[in-house]
Chain A
Amino acid sequence: MAKQYETVIGLEVHVELATKTKIFCSCSTAFGGAPNTHTCPVCTGMPGSLPVLNKQVVEYAMAVGLATNCKIHQYSKFDRKNYFYPDNPQNYQISQLYLPICYEGGVEIDTPAGKKVIGIHEIHMEEDAGKLIHDEWEDCSLVDYNRSGVPLIEIVSEPDMRNADEVIAYLDKLRLIIQYLGASDCKLQEGSMRADVNLSVREVGAEKFGTRTEMKNLNSFKAVARAIEGERARQIELLEEGKQVIQETRRWDDNKEYSYAMRSKEDAQDYRYFPDPDLVPIIISDEWIQAVRDRQPELRTEKLERYKKEFDIPDYDARIITGSKKLADLFEETTAICKKPKKVANWILGETLRLLKEKDMEPEELRFSAENLAKLINLTDAGTINGSVAKEVFEVLFGEDIDPEQYVEEKGLKTVNDEGALRTVIKDVLANNPQSVSDYKGGKAKALGFLVGQTMKAMKGKADPGSVNRILKELLDEA
């Protein structure tokens, strides 16, 4: 019988923090901007410049640490990681090796076998590097230091995961926690959340871990899952062939669904870490920890329970809404205005998600306001517009965040409630469609639908469907 293998996975997750300014200078962290415009002597490594720690970075790192049940090192330090590369203007990265800010934590994930805790070994703070642009045309490389010094935290897990599903569940858990804290937007595609996967395989029942590889360049959850499957298969194949897994760093190419070796342990660099003498130790008082703890917002698990209780929303719906900080915020803000939680939930789960999917957008990209969604809900509820008009208005609202009241007024979309006018139109419809009338009388219920449609068309969609149905039936019975 073939050997059974177990996969052992640990993750190093880099998260770009949502501070307005960089970790060691006051330059903007805003995305984009012409090359080297968000820079100063500090983040371009000019001789004589010195780093000064942005306190907000420490607060965010602590907040993430506390939310992932970590302990806090109340005496923490920055170290220099020395290596030469042009995206790194000082040729050392300021990071934390010896005394990282957070350590020994963990988060709980759901697995088919029940709840499981994934341990967090440490969380440390560090600076991002600049970006190299290779100009093939001019045969030269250029460097943009706008990203240089953008604050990152690296969350290092224990090797506690056993398959891709657990990895995705863990990443999703981290993403939600961090988004809820407001510490980052955690977009894998844009690189504000990056995961490196450390993976090894061993025979089921074996005590020792196998030799691991580190996989880089994973920029979507799907890529993470594919890379794990691919690497597991590659390592098992090696072992089955009686070969050794080599400890190395590999780069995943998601298009080719293949990874290739970047560097092996043998040519791993000696980073010559040592405490950065330009920065003073970070002293964190009990009071500071408590203050950060007190400011922690309601996280996903608590919110989920509250929604079910407070708003009487089904578990499935509440999970989807709280599955994105943006959707949850939209839900709560809209509900606070219109006081109709179920209707708000329906709009979010229905039309909002449909359009997001259609336009291939993330919830974070939603641009319409809670005020306008609430107005739309109120207009529909009051019967001022009918359901199909409401959907049309929502599409416009989704794209341009218009004021629905004004829009409905300007476009003349209000439901016509003039019974006399409606009767006249319906009489015309019946007169023009004798075949359908006789079909209806002959027992074909479908014909009624056709006549409703014709009436709505004649009314340009502005009739109240209830009234149309009632009057149609009434007149058909008379005919």
Chain B
Amino acid sequence: MDILSLTATQLGSKIKAGEVSVTEATEAALAQIKKLEGTLNCYVTVDEEGALRRAKEVQKLIDEGTLSGPLAGVPVAIKDNLCTEGMKTTCSSKILYNFYPTYTAEAVKKLEEAGAVILGKTNMDEFAMGSTTETSAFGVTRNPWNTEHVPGGSSGGSCAAVAAEECFYALGSDTGGSIRQPSSFCGVTGIKPTYGTVSRYGLIAYGSSLDQIGPVAKDVTDCAAVLEVISSHDKKDSTSVKRQDTDFTSALVDDVRGMRIGLPRDYLGEGLDPEVKAEVLKAAETLKEKGAIVEEFDLSLVEYAIPAYYVIASAEASSNLSRFDGVKYGYRTQEYEGLHNMYKKSRSEGFGAEVKRRIMLGSFVLSSGYYDAYYLKALRTKALIKQAFDRAFEKYDVILGPAAPTTAPELGKSLSDPLKMYLGDIYTISVNLAGLPGMTVPCGTDSHGLPIGLQLIGDCFKEKNIIRAGYSYEQARGAWKAPQLTETAKKGGI
């Protein structure tokens, strides 16, 4: 049996049935990591020893009947901005190159309680700032579909690891599209839940009012199962929401008859790659054939989302990242004279260019005299965008569009023009500003064989609508296919 080709829930069933042991599954993933990491660099940290030890413990708990959930014993990869007690957590930044958290993030704890085996921590854009995973201080991650291309970002390591079968599923985080865009580029499925659904406790903050943790996996079934486990009302997170309807797997129903699906014209216009557009419209057609009511509409305000997002996220980031100062943990410069020189040098040397750019931008928009003109105006824009979505959801159950305007760009082509890179977030960012759930489902490839992702957006707390639509689409599309890795990649070198 090819263990690696199983989905997370398929593996979970086989472990439960005793057909595969947790150690076998863990060893299979570790072997794949060994084989491909030299090329792909999906992980910042691989904890081989810890994973194998944990595999034995989990197997014992399964055998005793203590653990019986669908994910018990299934190996997972965790984005490196989620704290894991005793396991290095870097946010792919030099400033946290030696940081070992004293506690574990709530979402990871939930997975551990469900019997997850943590393989390691995945690479990302530094502090989740970026769309390519090229801003990592620990090297770029390559796209398993074509190693000359980026995996997207910021959860590029998690998405590439799932696509390359270096894990069975992963956790990512999404502030402006950081789960949905790399899922699209890597041909995997990822959900950004409604803001407040998954506790942010232990997620190293980028933009606190926008950040959400979510699953990345091979298919919608896996994503729903993982989301069901990690959703919780956490008293340690004031923004965590108490909700009852987190039985997301109940929405894995192949039926979209009568479902109202809206296609925003704003998401299909200028700037959208024609090949991406064609595949997305084809997916919409598929849902229509299955009985959904699909129509185009005008969402409006889409062009304001990017400036509003970069003002709000950068403002929050400038404050969130001020704790990284060389005093308590992380990187401290070698030589310095006095406190302020130590701060200045540690931060100058510890942060990368994109992070510095956003800290400066955020500090500027919050400074006295500019606060009203930028920050408050951005907050008002955010409220208007939410209203536009509210109006749309009076008419539609699901909004359908592309996750990104293009397929994965080549390595090294994005960072030189940050503004152009920011524009790539146009279809994902509004969803964070409005706090909505969004999901990417693979819907084809372009003429170069690079994956294209379909984005499904739901109203607040209506994950079940997008899960049902995504699952139904998937049934028509067919099972997930792994990328054909090039021969050089398979050998573990370029």
B339 touches A53 (CB 8 A): no
Q: Within the complex, what minimum Cβ distance (angstroms) separates B386 from chain A? A: 15
Say yes or no: is B457 at the interface (Cβ < 8 Å to chain A).
no
* A41-B102, A272-B366 given; A91·B322 CB < 8 A: yes
Q: In the complex, which of the residues A47, A143, A274 contacts B89, with contact meaning CB atoms closer than 8 Å?
A: A47
Q: How large is the interface on B (under 10, 10 to 19, 20 to 34, 35 or more residues)?
A: 35 or more
Q: Is A233 an interface residue (CB 8 A)?
A: no
B residues near A297, Cβ cutoff 8 Å: none
B336 proximal to A (CB < 8 A): no
Min CB distance B326 to A, Å, is 10
Question: Quick one: which of A41, A47, A90, A280 has the most chain B CB within 10 A?
Answer: A47
Residues of B within 8 A of A53 (CB): 238
Question: B329 contacts which chain A residues (CB < 8 A)?
Answer: 46-47
| Min distance, Cβ B491 to any Cβ of chain A, angstroms | 38
Is A89 an interface residue when CB atoms closer than 8 A count as contact?
Answer: yes
Asked, given contacts A46-B101, A86-B327, A86-B339, whether A92 binds B319 with beta carbons under 8 Å apart, the answer is: yes
Within 8 A of B (CB), among A249-292: 270, 272-274, 277-280
B239 CB–A CB distance under 8 Å:
yes
Chain A nearest CB, measured from B241 CB (Å): 10
Q: Is the CB of A274 within 8 A of B319?
A: yes
What is the distance, in angstroms, from A179's C-beta to the closest C-beta of chain B? 31
Given the known interface contacts A45-B328, A86-B339, the answer about A51 and B319 at a Cβ–Cβ threshold of 8 Å is no
Q: Is A80 an interface residue (CB 8 A)?
A: yes
- B455, chain A: closest CB distance, angstroms: 25
B469 within 8 A of A: no
Task: Collect the chain B residues with CB atoms within 8 Å of residue A273's CB.
Answer: 366, 371
Q: Once the chains bind, are A48 and B105 in contact (CB under 8 Å)?
A: yes
A49 touches B366 (CB 8 A): no
Q: Is the CB of B322 within 8 A of A92?
A: yes
A272 with B83, Cβ < 8 A, contacts A45-B328, A89-B328 known = no
Contacts of A278 in B (CB 8 A): 205, 208, 238-239
**Contact check: which of A48, A82, A270 meets B205 at CB < 8 Å?**
A48
Contact for A48 among B101, B235, B319, B327, CB less than 8 A: B101
Residues of A near B306 (CB, < 8 A) are none
User: Contact: A84 with B103, CB < 8 Å?
Assistant: no
> Chain B residue with minimal CB distance to A51?
B238
Chain B residue nearest to A84 (CB atoms) is B343
List residues of chain B with CB within 8 A of the CB of A52.
Answer: 235-238
Contact assessment for A82 and B368 in the assembled complex, using a CB-CB cutoff below 8 Å: no
Contact A274 B102, CB 8 Å, known A48-B203, A84-B343: no
Contacting residues, chain B, for A51 (C-beta < 8 A): 238
> Which chain B positions have C-beta within 8 A of A90?
322-323
Closest to A45 in B: B323
Q: Interface residues of B: mostly helix, strand, loop or mixed?
A: loop
**Could you say which of B99, B236, B340, B343 contacts A47, with CB atoms under 8 Å apart?**
B99
Q: Chain A residues with Cβ under 8 A from B102's Cβ?
A: 41, 46
Q: How far, in angstroms, from A90 to B325 measured CA to CA in the complex?
A: 9
Kindly report which residue of chain B lies nearest to residue A141, judged by CB atoms: B339
Chain A residues with Cβ below 8 Å from B315 are 274
In the complex, what distance in Å separates the CA atom of A172 from the CA atom of B365? 42
Given the known interface contacts A47-B89, A91-B325, the answer about A274 and B371 at a Cβ–Cβ threshold of 8 Å is yes
**Given the known A-B contacts A47-B96, A47-B204, A82-B319, are A41 and B325 also in contact in the complex, defined by CB atoms under 8 Å?**
no
Pairwise interchain contact B101-A280, C-beta atoms closer than 8 A: no
Min CB gap A97→B, angstroms: 11
Whether, in the assembled complex, A44 has its beta carbon less than 8 Å from a beta carbon of chain B, the answer is yes
B204 touches A277 (CB 8 A): no
* A246 contacts partner chain B, Cβ-Cβ < 8 Å: no
B368 near A270 (CB under 8 angstroms)? yes
Q: Is the CB of B239 within 8 A of A47?
A: no
Contact with A along B174-211 (1 / 0, CB 8 A): 00000000000000000000000000111111011100
Contacts of B239 in A (CB 8 A): 277-278, 280
- Can you name the residue of chain B whose Cβ is closest to the Cβ of A274? B366
In residues 65-96 of chain A, which contact B (Cβ within 8 Å)? 80, 82, 84, 86, 89-92
User: Interface digits, B89-104 against A, CB 8 Å rule (1 contact, 0 not)?
Assistant: 1010000100101110
Contact of B323 among A50, A91, A270, A277 (CB under 8 A): A91
The complex places the Cα of A13 from the Cα of B202 at a distance, in Å, of: 35
A47 to B103, alpha carbons, bound, how many Å?
10
Bound-state CA distance A47–B318 (Å) is 14
- Given known pairs A47-B101, A48-B83, the reply for A84 and B322 (CB within 8 Å) is yes
Checking A46, A86, A143, A277 against B103 with a beta-carbon cut-off of 8 angstroms, the contacting residue is A46
Q: Which residues on the A side are within 8 Å of B331 (C-beta)?
A: none
Select the residue from B82, B102, B208, B319 with max chain A CB neighbours within 10 A.
Answer: B319
A76 CB, min distance to chain B CBs, angstroms: 14
> Which residues of chain B have C-beta atoms less than 8 A from A277's C-beta?
207-209, 239, 316
> What chain A residues lie within 8 Å of B237 (beta carbons)?
50, 52
Q: Digit string of B363-374 for contact with A (CB within 8 Å is 1, else 0)?
A: 100111001000
Indicate whether A280 sits within 8 Å of B238 (C-beta atoms), given known contacts A45-B328, A84-B343. Answer: yes
- Tell me the A1-56 residues at the B interface (CB within 8 Å): 41, 44-53
Q: Is A48 in contact with B202, judged by CB distance below 8 angstroms?
A: yes
| A84→B319 CA distance, assembly (Å) | 10
CB-CB under 8 A from A270, the residues of chain B are 367-368
A-B contact pairs, 18 of them (CB 8 A): A46-B102, A46-B103, A46-B329, A47-B91, A47-B101, A47-B329, A48-B83, A48-B201, A50-B200, A50-B236, A51-B238, A82-B318, A92-B322, A272-B363, A273-B366, A274-B371, A277-B208, A278-B208
Using CB atoms and an 8 Å cutoff, list the residues of chain B in contact with chain A. Answer: 81-83, 89, 91, 96, 99, 101-103, 105, 200-205, 207-209, 235-239, 315-316, 318-319, 322-325, 327-329, 339-340, 343, 363, 366-368, 371, 375
Smallest CB-CB A-B distances: 8 pairs:
A91-B322, A272-B366, A277-B208, A277-B209, A48-B202, A47-B204, A48-B83, A48-B204
Given contacts A48-B105, A84-B340, A86-B325, 9 further A-B contacts (CB under 8 A): A47-B329, A50-B201, A53-B238, A89-B323, A272-B319, A272-B367, A272-B368, A279-B238, A280-B239
